[in-house]
Amino acid sequence: MSLFKKVQNLFSSAPADPVAQADAETPHVHGPGCSHDHDHGAPKSGASAKGTPLEASAVKVTPKGSGIDQVRNIIAVGSGKGGVGKSTLTLNLALALSNQGFKVGVLDGDIYGPSQQHLTRAPRPELESDDVLNPSEYEGVKVISVAMFSGVNQAQVLRGPMATQLLRQFLTQVNWGALDYLLIDLPPGTGDIQLSLAQMVPLAGAVLVTTPQELSIIDVRKAVSMFKTMNVPMLGVVENMSYFICDGCDKKHYVFGQGGGQKLAQELGLPLLAEVPMDPRIVETSDDGKAVMVKMPSSDAAKAYTSAAKTINDSLSLMQKDSDGALGYFMLEWK
């Protein structure tokens, strides 16, 4: 059965009792408070997730030339908090990096609430072979999202391990080719997807997104603690919806308070990568399937994305020069 069919079947045959689904034989990682004593390794060779059409054996296979073999840097864009602008930032950062001459891909890691298809309207991916998909493309950036497959509205009934399997397939059975950057749009929270991702692939770093208010920062601190636990270097903080400039007075209005992102960055010893203004046109263009970097390239928001992309690239180049890519969080902080 082709990979495309397998992914579609995963949605079209949502289990009657998703909670009882496929627990024993699917990948599992320790989460906070996970104290049980069972096998947390990868699925055993040839094992299949019982009752699911997506065999575990299939997700283990990395067909030659596909997957992330030729990806230089995988970057997670995360925040403990929902709705702070992770997906919008991921896409625009990807476009900013692409504008700077890098080969870039975006993997929508939000299996339950995917956004990248809506943000790009990228078409359905093409099948390269039975086991490999060619990613879709938007403005030269390769994109894959679960929303590109039909039956997506059923995604929310997926059991955690099934979502993790899907993520694994997107990492191993998509023909990403040679990329400088693969950006992963993480779901909100600090759950299975985030933990599994860090277990599956070596993350070059994580970008933290927050809005200025303490309510958001509290959740971002949880993500910080998760990334530290997983030894993922944090590259910096992006404060989104920092201020609003109204048409009438041309003055910055700090709707959600001022300086929250800066404070967090200082507390963590990380750079503040950007302060992206709150701009209603971002909502409009995004909902139209056009990114800010494309539709409003000279806006303050686009400038902020561009500058964040530059800093991220500079930091990674420096880290990799110093350490051959093996720099951990604490060393980054020390720098």
Ligand X SMILES: Nc1ncnc2c1ncn2[C@@H]1O[C@H](COP(=O)(O)OP(=O)(O)OP(=O)(O)O)[C@@H](O)[C@H]1O
Q: Is 331 in the site for ligand X (CB under 6 A)?
A: no
Partner that binds at residue 306, options Mg ion, ligand X, none, CB closer than 5 to 8 Å by kind: none
54-83 mask for ligand X (x: CB under 6 A)?
Answer: ----------------------------xx
Interface residues for Mg ion in 106-145 (CB under 5 A)? 115
86 binds ligand X (CB under 6 A): yes
| Cα Rg of the chain, angstroms | 19
Kindly state whether residue 66 participates in binding Mg ion, applying the rule CB under 5 A: no
Given 117, 165, 286, 299, the residue binding ligand X (CB under 6 A): 286
Buried b vs exposed e over 121-160: b needs ≥16 C-beta within 10 Å?
Answer: ebeebeebeebbbbbbebbebbbbbbbbbeebeebebbbb
String marking each residue 288-327 x if it binds ligand X according to CB under 6 A: -------------x--------------------------
Give me the residues paired with residue 106 across strands: 143, 183
Q: What minimum distance in Å lies between the beta carbon of 114 and Mg ion?
A: 8
Q: Build a one-symbol-per-residue string for 97-136: x at contacts with ligand X by CB under 6 A, - elsewhere.
A: -------------x--x-x---------------------
Task: Provide DSSP, 172-199.
Answer: HSBB--SEEEEEEEPPSSSSHHHHHHHH
CA–CA separation, 333 vs 321, rounded Å? 16
150: left (phi over 0), alpha (psi -120 to 50) or beta: beta
# of chain residues touching Mg ion (CB under 5 A):
3
Instruction: Rank residues 56 and 166 by Cβ distance to ligand X and give the closer one.
Output: 166
Q: What is the DSSP letter of 72?
A: E
Strands (E), the chain: 71-78, 104-108, 126-129, 132-134, 136-138, 141-144, 179-185, 205-210, 234-245, 252-253, 272-278
Least spacing, CB of residue 88 vs ligand X, in Å = 3
- Number of Cβ atoms within 10 Å of the Cβ of 325: 14
Q: Which listed option, ligand X, Mg ion, none, makes contact with residue 24 (CB within 5 to 8 Å by class)?
A: none
Rule CB under 6 A: say whether 282 interacts with ligand X: yes
Q: Check residue 297 and report its DSSP letter.
A: T
Residues of this chain that interact with Mg ion (CB under 5 A) are: 86-87, 115
Residues of this chain that interact with ligand X (CB under 6 A) are: 82-88, 110, 113, 115, 188, 240-241, 276, 278-279, 282-283, 286, 301
